[in-house]
C-alpha cells in the first residue's frame, strides 16, 4: 500500500470520480479533517448523507451517499477543487477570505476554531488555510 501525500486531494478526487461514474455511495479512508469536511458538505446540501465506520480497520472509513437531481441525474456538486496543497499552502487573512462564485459556492477553511466555511470564518473573524472550493 502506497502512502498518499495529500489525503484531502485524494478525498476530493474520490468524490469527483464517483460522481462521474454515477455511483450512489463512495468509500473513503477516514481522518478527522475529512470527517469535518464531510459534515460541512452534508450541512450545505452537497451530499445526501454520510456514515463513519470505525470498526473496518484502525483508520476507519467514511461512507458518503452522493446527491443527484432526481430528474436530470446531474450531481449536486458541480465542482470540488483543492486550493491549498502540500507543496504550496494557501492561507487567507480575515480581510481576504475568498468568495466562491459570488457566494453561491463555499470555501472550506481550516482555522483555529476548526474546519469551517468561508461564511462562518467571516462571522467568527478568523482566517486560516483554504482547503477547497465546492460549488
Q: pLDDT tens digits for the chain (135 residues)?
A: 567 899 999 999 999 999 999 999 999 999 999 999 999 999 999 999 999 998 756 789 999 999 999 999 999 999 999 999 999 999 999 999 999 999 899 999 999 999 999 999 999 999 999 999 999
CATH number at residue 45: 3.30.1370.30
User: Would 71 be classed as within a structural domain?
Assistant: no
CB 48 within 8 A of CB 67: yes
The domain tally of the chain equals: 2
Q: In whole angstroms, what is the distance from residue 53 CA to residue 123 CA?
A: 32
- Same domain as 129, residue 88: yes
Residue 104 lies in domain: 80-134
- Same domain as 99, residue 128: yes
Cα dist from 99 to 13, 43, 108, 113, 128, whole Å: 22, 18, 11, 19, 14
Coil vs helix vs strand at 20: helix
User: Would 37 be classed as within a structural domain?
Assistant: yes
- Same domain as 57, residue 85: no
Q: What predicted TM-score, i.e. pTM, was given to this entire model?
A: 0.92
Amino acid at each position: 500500500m502506497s502512502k498518499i501525500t495529500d489525503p484531502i486531494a485524494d478525498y476530493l478526487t474520490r468524490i469527483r470520480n464517483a460522481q462521474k461514474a454515477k455511483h450512489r455511495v463512495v468509500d473513503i479512508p477516514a481522518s478527522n479533517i475529512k470527517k469535518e469536511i464531510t459534515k460541512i458538505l452534508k450541512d450545505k446540501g452537497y451530499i445526501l448523507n454520510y456514515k463513519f465506520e470505525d470498526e473496518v480497520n484502525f483508520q476507519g472509513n467514511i461512507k458518503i451517499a452522493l446527491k443527484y437531481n432526481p430528474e436530470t441525474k446531474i450531481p449536486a456538486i458541480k465542482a470540488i477543487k483543492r486550493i491549498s496543497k502540500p507543496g504550496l499552502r494557501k492561507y487567507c487573512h480575515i480581510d481576504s477570505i475568498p468568495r466562491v462564485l459570488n457566494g453561491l459556492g463555499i470555501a472550506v477553511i481550516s482555522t483555529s476554531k476548526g474546519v469551517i466555511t468561508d461564511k462562518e470564518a467571516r462571522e467568527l473573524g478568523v482566517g486560516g488555510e483554504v482547503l477547497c472550493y465546492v460549488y
